């Protein structure tokens, strides 16, 4: 079997469509073969050009033949460049298609797996479970609030009562400051109030006391 037959899938399996990977590999093989031929033609073109320059003034017939061969090589090289561009485009399209196929296969497998996972779930049961979870969370919050509330203590004091108590404390502090302040100089200069009891008043008081004592003794004797 020739190399081209192998490259293009010749043989008993020629009716069988190749896989994208096989087609991509065949296109790469053809690209490699054409690139080698392109390098060969470029070298031949350079050789013929050198021959034409060498015999251009000495032997025009040889120079013209070299230029003709150069033109044929250039035409073949141009055709190969076009073929390489086509093959490259086709190979890239196949590579993209192969990638898309793999992505779709993976996505299909993932969708089947997801469907299988959801088949084991009942939506109504899921909603019931979530409702039960929410209810248990509320119960847990109520328990936490009950535990955190100190036992034996009443509700927080009314704000008005607290303000009244604060005003009393402020008034006490103000009174204390006023008491700590000493008497003013003007008060020191005023005459002091006499504290001794007048003599006449003291004598009257003693007589009244003596009369009370006598009345007490008389009452005791009479009884």
- What are the DSSP calls for 21-61, one per residue? HHHHHHHHHHHHHHHHHHHHHHHHHHHHHHHHHHHTTT-HH
Tokens in use for 172? 């006490």
- Lowest mean pLDDT across 41-45, 51-55, 130-134, 194-198: 194-198
- Kindly tell me if the per-residue pLDDT of 89 is higher than 90: yes
Q: For the chain, which residues make up each domain, given as ranges? A: 20-108
- Kindly tell me if the per-residue pLDDT of 176 is higher than 80: yes
Q: Is the pTM of this model over 0.75?
A: no
Q: How confident is the model at residue 4 (pLDDT cuts 50, 70, 90)?
A: very low
State what percent of residues in the chain have pLDDT above 90: 27
- Kindly tell me if the per-residue pLDDT of 40 is higher than 90: yes
Cβ proximity of 119 and 63 under 8 Å: no
Quick one: average pLDDT of 49-74? 89
pLDDT at 34: 95
Q: How confident is the model at residue 197 (pLDDT cuts 50, 70, 90)?
A: low
Decide if domain 20-108 falls under CATH 3.40.50.720.
Answer: no
- Lowest mean pLDDT across 85-89, 92-96, 162-166, 203-207: 203-207
SS3 for 195-215 is: CCCCHHHHHHHHHHHHHHHHH
- Torsion sign across C-alpha atoms 201, 203, 206, 207: negative
- Lowest mean pLDDT across 82-86, 151-155, 159-163: 151-155
Q: How confident is the model at residue 193 (pLDDT cuts 50, 70, 90)?
A: low
Distance between CA atoms of residues 2 and 11, nearest Å:
10
Cα–chain center distance at 105: 32
- Lowest mean pLDDT across 57-66, 67-76, 151-160, 211-220: 151-160
pLDDT at 169: 84
Bigger pLDDT: 96 or 218?
96
Kindly tell me the burial class for residue 49, based on how many C-beta atoms sit within 10 Å of its own C-beta (0-12, 13-18, 19 or more): middle
Quick one: average pLDDT of 25-29? 92
- Lowest mean pLDDT across 3-7, 125-129, 177-181, 213-217: 3-7
pLDDT at 39: 95
Tell me the three state secondary structure of residue 154: coil
Bigger pLDDT: 121 or 74?
74
């Amino acid at each position: 079997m020739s190399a081209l037959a192998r490259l293009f899938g010749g043989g008993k399996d020629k009716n069988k469509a190749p896989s994208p990977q096989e087609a991509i590999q065949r296109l790469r093989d053809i690209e490699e073969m054409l690139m080698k031929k392109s390098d060969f033609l470029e070298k031949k073109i350079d050789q013929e050009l050198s021959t034409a320059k060498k015999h251009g003034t000495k032997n025009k017939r040889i120079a013209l033949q070299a230029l003709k061969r150069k033109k044929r090589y250039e035409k073949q090289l141009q055709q190969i460049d076009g073929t390489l561009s086509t093959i490259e485009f086709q190979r890239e399209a196949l590579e993209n298609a192969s990638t898309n196929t793999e992505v779709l296969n993976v996505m299909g497998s993932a969708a089947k797996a997801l469907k299988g996972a959801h088949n084991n779930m009942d939506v109504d049961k899921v909603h019931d479970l979530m409702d039960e979870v929410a209810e248990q969370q509320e119960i847990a919050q109520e328990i936490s609030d009950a535990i955190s509330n100190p036992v034996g203590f009443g509700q927080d004091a009314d704000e008005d009562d607290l303000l009244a108590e604060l005003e009393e404390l402020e008034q006490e502090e103000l009174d204390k400051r006023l008491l700590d302040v000493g008497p003013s100089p003007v008060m020191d200069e005023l005459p002091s109030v006499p504290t001794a009891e007048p003599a006449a008043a003291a004598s009257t008081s003693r007589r009244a006391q003596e009369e009370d004592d006598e009345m007490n003794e008389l009452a005791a004797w009479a009884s």
